């Protein structure tokens, strides 16, 4: 049996936008383009209920307060706020 080794995640800079309301959903769609990112709109209210992201693992769903991340290869994926806060910190010079 192999002995477990320890690894540290390489420091990389990503772009991310938090899904906070209907306006942010529109901003996310403009930023990411469609596909692979689209909004799940409630037909009665016209409000975005979720952001749907097509990934190699299937369609992932981001709900309010989740972050949408553009990865180092241009791929998109959602991230829960607590995981985002534990994993990422702002880059100096970011508005």
Give me the pLDDT at residue 51, please. Answer: 95
d(CA 75, CA 54) in angstroms, rounded, equals 9
Are 61 and 36 a contacting pair, CB within 8 Å?
no
d(CA 14, CA 45) in angstroms, rounded, equals 33
Local structure of 80: helix, strand or coil = coil
For the residues 62-75, what does the mean pLDDT come to? 94
Are 19 and 62 a contacting pair, CB within 8 Å?
yes
pTM of the model: 0.83
Tens-place pLDDT, residues 7-46 = 888 888 999 999 999 889 999 999 998 788 999 999 999 8
Which contacts of 79-83 are long-range, i.e. CB under 8 A and separated by 24 or more positions? 79/16, 81/18
């Amino acid at each position: 049996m192999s002995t477990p080794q320890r690894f540290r995640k390489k420091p990389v800079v990503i772009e991310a936008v938090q899904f906070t309301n209907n306006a942010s959903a529109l901003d996310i769609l403009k930023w990411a383009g469609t596909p692979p990112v689209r909004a799940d709109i409630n037909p009665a209210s016209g409000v975005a209920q979720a952001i749907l992201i097509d990934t190699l693992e299937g369609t992932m769903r981001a709900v309010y307060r989740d972050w949408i991340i553009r990865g180092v290869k241009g791929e998109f994926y959602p991230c829960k706020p607590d995981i985002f806060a534990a994993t990422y910190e702002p880059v100096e010079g970011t508005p």
